[in-house]
Chain A
Amino acid sequence: DSGVTQTPKHLITATGQRVTLRCSPRSGDLSVYWYQQSLDQGLQFLIQYYNGEERAKGNILERFSAQQFPDLHSELNLSSLELGDSALYFCASSVDVGGSETQYFGPGTRLLVL
Chain B
Amino acid sequence: AQKITQTQPGMFVQEKEAVTLDCTYDTSDPSYGLFWYKQPSSGEMIFLIYQGSYDQQNATEGRYSLNFQKARKSANLVISASQLGDSAMYFCAMREGGSEKLVFGKGTKLTVNP
> B-contacting residues of A (Cβ < 8 Å)?
2, 31, 33, 35, 42-45, 48, 55-56, 58, 88, 90, 92, 97-100, 102-108, 110
By DSSP majority rule, is chain A's interface helix, strand, loop, or mixed?
strand
Query: With A2-B47, A108-B43, A108-B44 given, is the CB distance from A45 to B102 under 8 Å?
Result: yes
Are B45 and A97 closer than 8 Å at their CB atoms?
no
In order of increasing CB-CB distance, the 3 nearest A-B pairs are A105-B45, A45-B101, A43-B104
The answer to whether B47 touches A100, judged by C-beta atoms less than 8 angstroms apart, is no
> Residues of B contacting A45 with CB < 8 Å?
101-103
Which of B57-114 touch A at CB < 8 Å? 91, 93, 97, 99-107
Complex Cα distance, B47 from A90, in Å, reads 13
Residues of B within 8 A of A (CB): 33, 35, 37, 42-47, 50, 52, 91, 93, 97, 99-107
- Say whether, besides A43-B91, A100-B52, A105 and B104 are in contact (CB < 8 Å): no
Interface centre among B33, B47, B100, B105 (most CB of A within 10 A): B100
**With A33-B101, A100-B33, A100-B50 in contact, is A42–B43 under 8 Å at CB?**
no
Distance in angstroms between the alpha carbons of A108 and B46 in the assembled complex: 12
For the complex formed, measure the closest distance between the CB of B3 and the CB atoms of chain A, giving whole angstroms.
12
Count the A-B residue pairs with Cβ separation under 8 angstroms: how many?
59
Shortest Cβ gap from A64 to chain B (Å): 15
CA distance A45 to B45 in the complex (A): 14
Taken together as a complex, chains A and B put the C-alpha atoms of A100 and B33 apart, in Å, by 6
Cβ of B47: which chain A residues have Cβ within 8 Å of it?
2, 102-105
Q: Taking CB as reference atom, which chain A residue is nearest B37? A: A105
* Interface CB pairs A-B, < 8 A, 7: A43-B93, A48-B100, A56-B99, A103-B102, A105-B46, A106-B44, A108-B43
A97→B100 contact, CB < 8 A:
yes
